[in-house]
């Protein structure tokens, strides 16, 4: 179980509502209306169950696993499709994985 140490800190529970609102607005805009219409007591209960924290990332590890269960030709097509995307995040993933798809 994670515990606060020199690289993390618990935030004031009052920050929880804002910490939920901002990602919902950014990543789930269709859900925003549902969230805004939720009864205040229910919303307070949901948000009250959160334990917001901040953490300094001191190390990040990852693997390229794009289309890992596909033949190499399929992986290459996925990478090419992403690299050609007009979505800058998708294109960046495609460019970053060029040479890793084989």
* Averaged pLDDT, groups of 10, the chain, 102 residues long: 60 70 82 84 83 83 72 84 92 82 52
Best CA proximity match to 4, nearest among 60, 51, 49, 61: 51
Within a domain: 1:
no
Within a domain: 2:
no
Rounded-to-integer distance, Cα 50 and Cα 16, Å: 7
101: containing domain: 63-102
Within a domain: 13:
yes
Residues 69 and 102 in one domain: yes
Residues 67 and 29 in one domain: no
Question: What pLDDT sits at residue 1?
Answer: 44
Residues 71 and 97 in one domain: yes
């Amino acid at each position: 179980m994670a515990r606060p140490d020199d690289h993390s800190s618990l935030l004031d529970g009052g920050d929880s509502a804002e910490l939920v609102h901002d990602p919902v607005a950014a990543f789930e805009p269709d859900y925003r209306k549902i969230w805004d219409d939720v009864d205040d007591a229910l919303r307070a209960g949901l948000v009250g169950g959160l334990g917001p924290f901040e953490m300094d990332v001191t190390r990040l590890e990852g693997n390229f696993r794009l289309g890992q269960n596909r033949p190499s030709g399929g992986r290459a097509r996925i990478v090419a499709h992403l690299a050609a995307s007009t979505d800058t995040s998708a294109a960046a993933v495609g460019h970053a994985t060029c040479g890793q798809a084989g």
